[in-house]
A and B are shown apart, each in its own frame.
Chain A
């Protein structure tokens, strides 16, 4: 994109925010801190290659392979790495297994820490002030807004991500899926179910 916005005359104009970004970028390139081609590759990776399908594969494997599930519980970072999902913001992973007794839900009250290699970049609502504050104060109410009604007997545990620890929720395996293979099961795992704001079982 050569420029943002439109000048009223015959010259160009950049929005104030685009000017700030261009200033930073050009200085960082000149000083040798960043390489413009590497920036483009990184952006493309996050736009097209990293996303919740990665996390879904981890969940489906945990559902079908008890040994893998055990490993995931004990050392999620290594178990996830074994499937090839490594990298930034996934260095120290903890897997939270949902059960009929306990439902896990993840938030980052400070900013927006999130397991990028497994889920991609966080959705808008995850970064929003209402979710960040209300997930802690009223998790059941937040879940209701997402269409999740849990039994009163189910305890809700809310986990606050930090810059060091990222959580991946392992949702419960939907009923009547005994005949499904790993790949089909992965199709039942939606992004929000791995944050804990939805259940697995529906494509969206």
Chain B
């Protein structure tokens, strides 16, 4: 706990901002209530000690499955596809799924 973190950036890395924004947008669309989200996030926070936005991301992965927005396998296949795409992309070029 550092009381003097007034100049902390809002997000430390771009992925944190993306994960944050996806949750807000899905809630805005009515995919889940904020109480439901708080339960998913709270459950993650209770079970492990990782940085905050990693909890946030893990909770997001679970709530999109619980709400049948995407399946577990669909998501894991997509993670692999992005990994293959990254490896097939020459250094410094934008990574695109079509490269996988």
User: Contact at A23–B24, with CB atoms within 8 Å?
Assistant: no
Tell which of A33, A111, A128, A198 touches B42, judged by Cβ atoms closer than 8 Å: A111
**C-beta contact mask, A35-49 vs B, less than 8 Å → 1, else 0?**
100110011001100
Please give me the residue from chain B that is nearest to A121 by CB atom.
B10
Task: Give B50-71 interface residues, CB cut-off 8 Å to A.
Answer: 52, 54-55, 57, 60-61, 64, 69-70
How many whole Å from B36's CB to the nearest CB in chain A? 8
Q: Interface extent on A, as a size class? A: 35 or more
**C-beta contact mask, B76-100 vs A, less than 8 Å → 1, else 0?**
1011011100111111111101000
Chain A residues with Cβ below 8 Å from B2 are 124-125
Given contacts A7-B87, A19-B82, A27-B78, A162 and B38 within 8 Å (CB-CB)? yes
Tell which of B17, B19, B41 touches A47, judged by Cβ atoms closer than 8 Å: B17
Task: Give A135-192 interface residues, CB cut-off 8 Å to B.
Answer: 142, 145-147, 162-164, 190-192
A43 to B61, CA, bound (A): 20
Please give me the residue from chain A that is nearest to B76 by CB atom.
A23
User: Contact at A88–B27, with CB atoms within 8 Å?
Assistant: yes
User: Contact at B1–A111, with CB atoms within 8 Å?
Assistant: no
Tell which of B3, B29, B60 touches A198, judged by Cβ atoms closer than 8 Å: B3
**Is A18 interfacial (CB 8 A cutoff)?**
yes
User: Contact at B79–A20, with CB atoms within 8 Å?
Assistant: yes
Chain B residues with Cβ below 8 Å from A88 are 24, 27-28, 34
User: Contact at A124–B82, with CB atoms within 8 Å?
Assistant: no
User: Contact at B89–A11, with CB atoms within 8 Å?
Assistant: yes
User: Contact at B1–A34, with CB atoms within 8 Å?
Assistant: no
User: Contact at A38–B86, with CB atoms within 8 Å?
Assistant: no
Tell which of A10, A21, A147 touches B3, judged by Cβ atoms closer than 8 Å: A147
**C-beta contact mask, B10-47 vs A, less than 8 Å → 1, else 0?**
11011101111110111111010111011001100100
Given contacts A21-B19, A111-B41, A113-B38, A34 and B25 within 8 Å (CB-CB)? yes
Chain B residues with Cβ below 8 Å from A99 are none
**Is A83 interfacial (CB 8 A cutoff)?**
no
**Is A70 interfacial (CB 8 A cutoff)?**
no
A196 to B15, CA, bound (A): 30
User: Contact at B82–A23, with CB atoms within 8 Å?
Assistant: yes
Chain B residues with Cβ below 8 Å from A198 are 3
User: Contact at B8–A89, with CB atoms within 8 Å?
Assistant: no
User: Contact at A11–B86, with CB atoms within 8 Å?
Assistant: yes
List A residues at the B interface (Cβ < 8 Å). Answer: 1-4, 6-7, 10-14, 17-28, 31, 33-35, 38-39, 42-43, 46-47, 88-89, 110-113, 120-121, 123-125, 127-131, 142, 145-147, 162-164, 190-192, 197-198, 204
